[in-house]
């Protein structure tokens, strides 16, 4: 385990093994002392000087009294969701487009059929009405007017 | 394995700490303790004050951890907290930050922090010099393969893969050599560090 901790210090530990090392750190405090000794050795070799002794022990006591922080994972979650959400959106878009395409061609036909039937009934009714009332426009055909309301669909 | 930068390593530990793992944060504290102390020594004069402000810096960093999104390197973010903590500390005492170089009258001649050792007493100065000498002696006395491996790693910052190529050995062997070199240095270093610890007021 110590050799793995040493590899972690160099960023050479397989990410899957990092969790294993951290679990060991929770169970064995001497591993933190090892890490501190190695870090002190590194600082000295690099000419950084000698860190204050006993610092991390004092810090750990203060840290224990601190509430555990849990950061919202919005960035990572968004990144992780980005691809599936994009794919889902694309699929949904294609689905809606297809539905609209077929829906768009069927719906006017149905509406026209309905309109034709209504027009025929209306024409017969008006013709009969005009004749009975002595209407001067008896012989004239019925003018058809169409209205389209935008955005109904 | 692809070489990971120190920033990647920090980010990995930060993510663990942000998930509630205090041990991961302690690893970062140990890693950056010395560098934060050096930074603070440019702003705060007294050794015991440096220690207090460094402790406060790391506690503040821990509390602010949920707000850290990795847009900058962890140490950049940490250094900013350290400077603000030092300024607040001095402001509450009616003092303002004073760089050591302002007194020297020459800001560029040498590293400012070198002029401000953490320990001002002759005893601690002696201890520090002894510690540095001991570490260098241990490295010199290591078998060649351990000395070369630890030197390439710590001083040159090379990856295990690069060191393996230079030393013509498997990566696993490099990992083992570096670990054994660290253990050898730590074995001599620990009693000295413990001794320095007993000299302190706490």
User: Do B133 and B184 belong together in one domain?
Assistant: yes
**Neighbouring residues of B176: CB distance < 8 A, sequence distance ≥ 6:** A3
pLDDT tens per residue across span B43-75: 888 888 899 999 999 999 999 999 998 889 999
Asked if residue B114 belongs to a domain, the reply is: no
Q: Are B50 and B37 in contact (CB under 8 A)?
A: yes
Residue A103, SS3 per DSSP = helix
User: Do B75 and B132 belong together in one domain?
Assistant: no
Asked if residue B37 belongs to a domain, the reply is: yes
B104, B139, B157 - which closes a domain: B104
B73, B104, B135 - which closes a domain: B104
pLDDT tens per residue across span A94-140: 666 666 666 544 444 455 555 565 566 555 555 555 554 445 555 45
Asked if A52 and B51 come within 8 Å (Cβ–Cβ), the reply is yes
CA A111 to chain centre: 38
CATH number of residue B161's parent domain? 1.10.10.10
CATH number of residue B54's parent domain? 1.10.1740.10
Separation of alpha carbons A70 and A73, rounded Å: 9
Asked if B55 and A62 come within 8 Å (Cβ–Cβ), the reply is yes
Asked if pLDDT for residue A141 goes beyond 80, the answer is no
Min Cα–Cα distance to chain B from A111, Å: 56
Residue A120: burial class (beta carbons within 10 Å; 0-12, 13-18, 19+): exposed
Min Cα–Cα distance to chain A from B126, Å: 12
Asked if residue B99 belongs to a domain, the reply is: yes
User: Do B99 and B1 belong together in one domain?
Assistant: yes
Instruction: Return the number of CB contacts < 8 Å for A and B.
Output: 175
CA angle B98, B99, B104 (to 5 degrees): 115
Within 10 angstroms of residue B91's Cβ, the number of other Cβ atoms is 11
Min Cα–Cα distance to chain A from B72, Å: 14
Contacts with A63 from chain B: Cβ below 8 Å = 22, 25-26, 59, 62
* Residue B198 domain boundaries: 119-202
Asked if residue B110 belongs to a domain, the reply is: no
Mean pLDDT along residues A75-83: 53
Asked if residue B109 belongs to a domain, the reply is: no
Nearest in space to B45 (alpha carbons), one of B113, B94, B106? B113
Decide if A78 touches B, using CB distance below 8 A. no
Residue B137: burial class (beta carbons within 10 Å; 0-12, 13-18, 19+): exposed
- The tally of domains found in chain B comes to 2
User: Do B87 and B3 belong together in one domain?
Assistant: yes
User: Do B95 and B129 belong together in one domain?
Assistant: no
Q: Are B118 and B49 in contact (CB under 8 A)?
A: no
User: Do B129 and B164 belong together in one domain?
Assistant: yes
The pLDDT, as a whole number, for residue B108 is: 39
Asked if B62 and A63 come within 8 Å (Cβ–Cβ), the reply is yes
Residue A104, SS3 per DSSP = helix
Contacts with B183 from chain A: Cβ below 8 Å = 2
Number of continuous H segments (helices) and E segments (strands) in chain B: 9, 0
The pLDDT, as a whole number, for residue B199 is: 42
Asked if residue B95 belongs to a domain, the reply is: yes
């Amino acid at each position: 385990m110590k050799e793995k901790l040493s590899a972690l210090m160099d960023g050479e530990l397989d990410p899957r093994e990092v969790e294993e090392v951290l679990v060991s750190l929770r169970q064995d405090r001497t591993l933190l002392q090892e890490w501190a000794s190695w870090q002190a050795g590194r600082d000295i070799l690099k000419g950084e000087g000698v860190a204050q002794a006993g610092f991390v022990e004092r810090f750990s006591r203060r840290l224990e009294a601190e509430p555990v922080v849990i950061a919202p994972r919005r960035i990572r979650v968004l990144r992780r969701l980005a691809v599936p959400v994009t794919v889902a959106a694309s699929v949904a878009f294609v689905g809606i487009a297809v539905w609209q395409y077929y829906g768009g061609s069927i719906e006017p036909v149905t509406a026209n059929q309905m309109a034709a039937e209504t027009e025929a009934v209306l024409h017969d009714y008006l013709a009969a009405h005009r004749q009975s009332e002595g209407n001067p426009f008896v012989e004239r055909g019925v003018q058809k007017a169409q209205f389209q309301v935008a955005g109904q669909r | 394995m692809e070489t990971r930068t120190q920033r990647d390593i920090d980010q990995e530990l930060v993510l663990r700490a942000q998930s509630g793992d205090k041990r991961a944060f302690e690893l970062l504290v140990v890693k950056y303790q010395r560098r934060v102390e050096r930074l603070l020594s440019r702003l705060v004069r007294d050794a015991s004050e440096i220690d207090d402000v460094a402790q406060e810096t790391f506690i503040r960093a821990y509390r602010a951890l949920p707000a850290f999104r990795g847009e900058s390197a962890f140490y950049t973010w940490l250094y900013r907290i350290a400077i603000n903590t030092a300024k607040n500390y001095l402001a509450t005492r009616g003092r303002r930050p004073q760089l050591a170089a302002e007194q020297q009258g020459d800001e560029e001649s040498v590293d400012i922090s070198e002029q401000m050792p953490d320990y001002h007493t002759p005893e601690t100065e002696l201890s520090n010099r002894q510690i540095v000498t001991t570490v260098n002696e241990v490295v010199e006395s290591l078998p060649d393969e351990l000395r070369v491996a630890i030197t390439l790693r710590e001083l040159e910052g090379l990856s295990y893969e690069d060191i393996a190529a230079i030393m013509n050995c498997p990566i696993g062997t490099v990992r083992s050599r570096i670990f054994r070199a660290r253990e050898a240095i730590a074995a001599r270093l620990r009693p000295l560090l413990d001794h320095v610890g007993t000299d302190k007021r706490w």
